[in-house]
Amino acid sequence: MRVAFDYQIFSLQAYGGISRYFTRLVEHLAAAKEEVKIFSPVHCNEYLDSLTPALRYGRRISRKSSKAIRLALPYNHIVCRHKISNWKPDLVHETYFSMFNSKPALVPVVVSVFDMVHELFPKEFSKVNRYCDFKRKAVERADHVICISENTRNDLLNTFHIHAEKVSVAHLGFDSFPDNQPAARADVLSTNRPFLLFVGNRKGYKNFSGLLRAVSLSPQLRSTFDIVAFGGGAFTNTEQALIKSLGYDARQVYQTGSTDAELAVLYDKAVALIYPSLYEGFGLPPLEAMAHNCPVIVSRAASMPEVVGDAGEYFEPSSPESIAAAIVNVVFSTEKTSSLVRKGQKRLGQFSWETCASKTLAIYEKLLS
C-alpha cells in the first residue's frame, strides 16, 4: 500500500502534538513495510528531520521566517499536489483541515480529527468560524475520518452530523523520554521544594486558573508545594495578577521549559501531575507522566477517563474544592501514590505507536477493500 501525507501541519507547527503524531505514524507504518511518504515542500517542522529521507520530501526553514511560511502555502499546495500525483499513492492522508485537497483524482482521502474544542469553546479562539468551516469541509470531503478517542468521535458526530460508519477511532501512542536526558537541564527547577506539575497550554479550557485556586484553598498544600507550569510561554499579566491575588509566595508558582529533556526532568521529580482540563481530545501528558512513575491527578471530563482508566485520581474540574481534595488524597499518602504508579505502568500497555499504526492501517485497508 502506498500512502501519501500532505504538507499542512508541517507548515504550521515547528513541533507539537499533531505533527509528532504524523511522524510517529509514518515511522511505524514504514516499519510494517508499507510505502509511506510525507510531501511537505517547504516546512518549519523539526520532527520531519528525524525521518529518513525516503519517508519525506521537502526542506525546512526557520520558524522565525513565519512570513515566508505563509507565502509558501500556495506553493506548497501546488507542488504537493503535483508530487503526490506523480508518486501514484493508493490513498492520501491529509494532516490538517484545508478548503482544498491534495489528492489525485479517484484516490480516497482520510483526515484525522483530534478534538472539537473550537466548536465547543468558540469564545476562547480567534477566527473560530473560519477554522470550523475548514474543518467541516475537510471532514465532509474525506472518504473516512479517524478520531483519536471515542469521546472525540462522539463529539464529531454530535456536532457535524455525518454518518457514523464514516468515522473510526485509533488511540494515540505516547513517547517515553530517554533516561539520559535530564542531565542536560538540571537547572530546569529553580527550587528544591516538592512541586505539583502542570503541562502545556494554560488558556481558558485548560483550567490552569482552577489549579491555582484549588491549591490556594488548602493551607496544607500551599505550605508544602510549589506549582511548576511546563511550556505554554511566560505567564501573562492576568496570570501574574491572579497568582498574586491568591496569596502565593514569590517564585512559588513558576513557568519553565520547552524541550523533551526538560519535561523528563519534571516528570521524574514531580510529586504528581495535575491535569485539570475541561476538555481534551485525548491528552498525552498523563501517559507520559505514568511512563516516568509520576502519579496522575486528573479531570473527570471528556476523554480523560477513556485514556487514564483506573490509573488516576479524579476530580470535577469546575470545582476548586474537588481538585484540592483529590490532590490532598494522593500527595500525602504513600500508599495511594504507590498504587497510582503501579496502575499507571499497567495502563501504559494499552497505548503505543505500534498499536496506533496497526489500527490506522486496518482502517486504510477497509477503505480500499
Q: Are residues 156 and 230 in the same domain?
A: no
Q: Are residues 293 and 334 in the same domain?
A: yes
Q: Are residues 191 and 165 in the same domain?
A: no
What Å distances lie between residue 304 and 115, 288, 296, 328, CA to CA?
Answer: 12, 14, 11, 20
116 and 94 Cβ atoms separated by less than 8 Å: no
Mean pLDDT of 260-285: 94
Q: Are residues 113 and 93 in the same domain?
A: yes
Q: pLDDT tens digits for 33-92?
A: 999 999 999 998 989 988 999 999 999 987 655 566 667 788 899 999 999 999 999 999
Q: Are residues 114 and 26 in the same domain?
A: yes
Beta strand 109-113 pairing with 144-147? parallel
Q: Are residues 283 and 343 in the same domain?
A: yes
Q: Are residues 67 and 189 in the same domain?
A: no
Q: Structural domain of residue 338, as residue ranges?
A: 182-350
Q: pLDDT tens digits for 95-137?
A: 999 877 777 888 999 999 999 999 999 999 988 899 999 999 9
| List of residues 6+ apart from 265 with CB closer than 8 A | 181, 182, 185, 186, 188, 189
Q: Are residues 273 and 187 in the same domain?
A: yes
- So what's the pLDDT on residue 191? 67
CATH number, domain containing residue 65: 3.40.50.2000
Q: Are residues 135 and 247 in the same domain?
A: no
Evaluate if residue 328 carries a pLDDT over 50: yes
Q: pLDDT tens digits for 233-243?
A: 999 999 999 99
Evaluate if residue 318 carries a pLDDT over 90: yes
Q: pLDDT tens digits for 332-346?
A: 999 999 999 999 999
> What domain count does the chain have?
2
- So what's the pLDDT on residue 66? 56
